[in-house]
Amino acid sequence: MLSLKLKVNKLENYGENHKSIIDACKKGDERQKYRLYQMYSKAMFNVCYRMMNNREEAEDMLQEAFTQAFLKLDSFRYESGFGSWLKRIVINTCINAKSKRKVELTYFEEMHKFDKPEIDENNEEEFQLTVAGITKAMEKLPEGGRIIFSLYLLEGYDHGEISQILNITESTSKSQFMRAKRRVVEIMKEQKTEMR
């Protein structure tokens, strides 16, 4: 089976190396808040975009998440990396926004359609996966599958955590991830064929 391997930038070192910036933010230093925002906003925008699949909504969610983070900053105890703490707020902000709009997450329904992917494992070298290609293909996934795919592969959550975040079973998370992964590969192959 073709495995999707991505290198994801982690911002954990910022939480450890910039304790003084976070401490200054806790004391209300607006310049340091802006500095912290600059350090994390691009990565957190990418999370928002993958969750919302819309640039304007992602920008709104980013601002909302940072507002919440700065309001809750006193609760950050340095027990985990600041990036992980902030990412959890970002993801929860996006999921809460979807819930408030009463948008039902749509998942893959046709289980048999993706059961046997037509992937020639001998030609893996020909078919190269890129972050940009995967991200573009993700936009075509059903919302639920896209969110699970993003949370698992790009954000590093395990299926137990995803099941808690989305209030679904762990087996649903696993099966939706597998279907999303297969569909991403299919979409990317289709895009490659169209480019020829």
For 111-195, give the CATH class: mainly alpha
Amino acid identity, residue 40? Y
The pair of structure tokens assigned to 104 is 């039902």
Q: Please report which confidence band the pLDDT of residue 190 belongs to, taking 50, 70 and 90 as the band edges.
A: confident
| Least reliable range by pLDDT among 49-58, 118-127, 147-156 | 118-127
pTM for the structure as a whole: 0.66
What is the average pLDDT score of the chain?
Answer: 79
Q: Which two tokens stand for residue 8?
A: 């994801």
Q: How far apart are CA 8 and CA 27, in angstroms?
A: 31
Reduce the DSSP state of residue 157 to 3 states and report it: coil
More confident residue, 158 or 195: 158
Tokens of 118: 């037509």
Topology annotation, domain 12-100: Rna Polymerase Sigma Factor; Chain: A (1.10.1740)
pLDDT exceeds cutoff 80 at 140: yes
Q: Is the pLDDT of residue 27 over 90?
A: yes
Tracing tokens 């290198």 back to the chain, one arrives at: 7
Domain map (residue ranges) of the chain = 12-100, 111-195
Highest mean pLDDT among 33-37, 172-176, 183-187, 188-192: 33-37
Q: Where are the beta strands (DSSP E) in the chain?
A: none
126-130 own/partner pairs: CB under 8 Å, 24+ apart: 127/2, 127/185, 127/188, 127/189, 127/192, 129/4, 129/5, 129/6, 129/185, 129/188
